[in-house]
Amino acid sequence: MGNNPYSYFKRDISWLSFNYRVLLEAKDERLPVYERIKFLSIYSSNLEEFYKIRVSGYHSSLLESINRDESMEEAMKTIVQINSEVTAQEKEYYHIFNNMILPELKRNGIVLYQTDKVEPFHREYVKKYFNEEVFPYLQPMIIQKDDIHSFIQDGRIYQSISLLKKKKKSDKWGYTYAIMKIPYTKIPRFIELPSHGGNHYIMFIDDVIKANMESVFPGYEIVDCFSIKISRDADFSLEDEDRKDIASEILRKVRKRKIGAVTRFQYDKDMPDYFLEYLCEAYEIEEEELLPSGRYLNLADLSSLPNPVGDSLKQKLPQPLRVPELETNNSVLRVLRKQDVLLHFPYQSFDYLLRFLLQAAFDPKVLEIKVTQYRVAENSAVINSLISAAKNGKKVTVFVELKARFDEMNNYLTSELMQQAGVKIIYSLPGLKVHAKLAYVRKRSNDPDDPIKGYAYLGTGNFNEKTARIYSDKGLLTSNKEFIKDIDEVFRVLEGKPYMHDFKHLLVTQFNMLPEIHRMIEREIEHVKNGGIGYIILKMNSLEDKGMINALYRASEVGVKIDLIIRGICCLVPGQPFSKNITVTRIVDAYLEHARVWYFFNAGEENIYLTSADWMQRNLYRRIEVAFPIYTESLKRQIIDILKIQLTDNQSAVWIDENLQNVFKRDTAPIDAPPVRAQQATYDYLKKSTQQ
């Protein structure tokens, strides 16, 4: 590696750049205030998971003195770099919250208290609420450094209190320390207070408790009270588990997640040193785990901030479009016998996929349904359709990925429900996650030489009707016989049956995906070397694999033009001699950009693949992923047109520069350039195309 001329961004520093871009949405005064608050919530939620999973890996390497990827010294350096960047971002976070969001709420008649000093007209209400709704659930505990003390639960807000006995004020060493968990499962984080003077008032439960702290500790003077929170290691590995034991092993490890090692100790930055030092000593908090923050922690809870004013302060999302060819015919299956249908979520309705599954459940010609499930919605209509199919006599097989992080328990409970209804459940493959999004509907065939007939759905996102409202994904409904044969092969792999390996059209990781991607990149290189044009567009969530990045660098060096649309992690460094023909665009807007699309110009033939796979080590080497080509010219044109819309976005899009900065295209676009907001423009494009 010493001779490698290329450079790369660090994966986790790149991710922080993405999360900062999410934070920047909260600054955008063009958005309604509750949309901006939503992005503050998403930023905090993202960061919490980041510390539970990614930062925990660096801490583990320090404890074990070994690391698969980096030395101990490098791990510590990365933790310091991460904490430094997060501290700077959190400073801006609270600036946005305090100096932009709160005044905007006030302008709209909403006052969010930022103090436990209650206005006279609210004192009686707050005291009564505390005594009746909060006090019964409080469990204050004294902290003794050298004694057994309370366990701080993962992700919960605690109030740490320093006290003085009222008779011993003169004794500066006479502090007593206590800790008290906010009982958030019993009471809401935000309390709506009576309106006054034309304003609506909202108070953090933290402040309701602080305002009544004296009644919790009678006989003491409250000296200081600050919020603290611990994030714990939530990652676990299941590389070598036997398939038959994997469900019980996953459930065992999920339950242990709550008591994992500390990865972050957040505290109010105004906490005095004497107090912080005491807590660190009592709970054995290391310096690299310390993250100063603001008065209020767990601001992912802002997603539940009451909105007493109503829809005028929220983002208005357009209604999903109807698809004409599926509207003019009641039977989705009948339509698919004549043509492929491409669905664009959430611009078009997810109902069509539900209708597809439900009609398959009741079609007498359908014998069998097979589906992969990665993240299952609660009370899922998809699952209900599969249960209906099983009860209607169809053979139904569902591959449930129990290793879908943070959805393990929900996936397990849902699979138990399906099993009770007669659905055959296949759990995770040892050492691999199944991330492919496939449904296969097999119908009766009268041809013994061609028994594999039916319909299929191939997608870039999960079979999840809830996320389909906010995730931008694509899915193909088809009865293409060649696709059906390949999909049948994929399911044979998942079921542990004998298979041929010979995928003719689909690209499948562990089999033909990697060599085929490299072949298509090399083909663009050859076109340029032969005097032609080489052009690649890649849209995905993350780009991290160095082998893939090196292939793109080599293509750029010979003159292949490459436009990347990467929402999250991007380890490729633009603006270098070896990447001079590569641009990196990031789009963050109302919907989460989630579709993965590969475009290769191929001397004008224009090859398009849709896929579940990002170009990450985990996707390419430790998962089952599927990419599928689009052959219908009209559907290819739709996808290409939408890619071009996204590349011309100059409102929500940023360039990623050589310093990993988010450079807004609207700040660099020509003054006379018409404004293009890709998500709105995509909706308008699809609406127009359905009216033709």
Domains, in order of start, for the chain? 11-305 (3.30.1840.10), 324-503 (3.30.870.10), 513-691 (3.30.870.10)
What integer pLDDT is reported at residue 527 of this predicted model? 98
Encoded tokens for 451: 């028994």
Q: Tell me the pLDDT tens digit for each residue of 594-639.
A: 999 999 999 999 999 999 999 999 999 999 999 999 999 999 999 9
- pLDDT band (50, 70, 90) for residue 376: confident
Q: What pLDDT, on the 0 to 100 scale, is given for residue 448? A: 73
Q: In 3D, which of 375, 370, 373 has the Cα closest to residue 360?
A: 370
Do the beta carbons of residue 665 and residue 654 sit within 8 Å?
yes
Which member of 59, 200, 344, 435 is catalytic? 435
Residues 254-268: what's their mean pLDDT? 75
* pLDDT interval class at 153 (50, 70, 90): confident
- pLDDT of 447 strictly over 80: no
pLDDT beyond 70 at 240: no
| pLDDT tens sequence across 61-84 | 666 655 455 467 888 889 999 999
Q: Which pLDDT band, with edges at 50, 70 and 90, does 151 fall under? A: confident
- The tokens for 99 are 């100096």
HSE-CB of 434 using CA atoms within 13 angstroms: 21
Here the tokens at position 507 are 């690209």
Average pLDDT over residues 439-443: 95
* Token couple for 688: 């127009």
> Is 344 one of the catalytic residues?
no
The pLDDT of residue 471 is above 50: yes
Quick: pLDDT tens for 17-29. 999 999 999 999 9
Average pLDDT of the segment spanning 314-343: 94
pLDDT at residue number 407: 65
pLDDT tens, residue by residue, 642-685: 999 999 999 999 999 999 999 999 998 888 899 999 999 999 99
Whether 96 and 26 have beta carbons less than 8 Å apart is answered as yes
The number of beta carbons lying within 10 Å of the beta carbon of residue 520 is 17
* Average pLDDT taken over every residue of the chain: 90
pLDDT band at 154 (very low <50, low <70, confident <90, very high): confident
**pLDDT on residue 149:** 64
Residues 493 and 432: their CA atoms lie apart, in Å, by: 12
- pLDDT-based confidence at 548, cuts 50/70/90? very high
- Is pLDDT of 242 > 70? no
Report the predicted TM-score, pTM, of the whole model to 2 decimal places. 0.91
- Which pLDDT value is given to residue 67? 46
Question: Which range has the worst mean pLDDT, 24-28, 248-252, 262-266, 353-357?
Answer: 248-252
- Reply yes or no on whether the pLDDT at 347 is more than 50: yes
Percentage of the chain exceeding pLDDT 70: 92
Per-residue confidence (pLDDT) for residue 147, from 0 to 100: 67
**Burial (CB count <10 Å: 0-12, 13-18, 19+), residue 641:** middle
Q: How far apart are the first and last CA of the chain?
A: 55
pLDDT at 464 exceeding the cut of 70: yes
Q: Is residue 326 predicted with pLDDT exceeding 70? A: yes
Burial class (CB in 10 A: 0-12, 13-18, 19+), 328: exposed
> Can you tell me the mean pLDDT for 462-478?
94
Can you tell me whether residue 626 is helix, strand or coil?
A: strand
Confidence of residue 468 (pLDDT cuts 50, 70, 90): very high
Q: What is the pLDDT of residues 384-400, one digit of tens each?
A: 999 999 999 999 999 98
Q: Which pLDDT score is estimated for 429?
A: 78
Instruction: Check pLDDT > 60 for residue 236.
Output: no
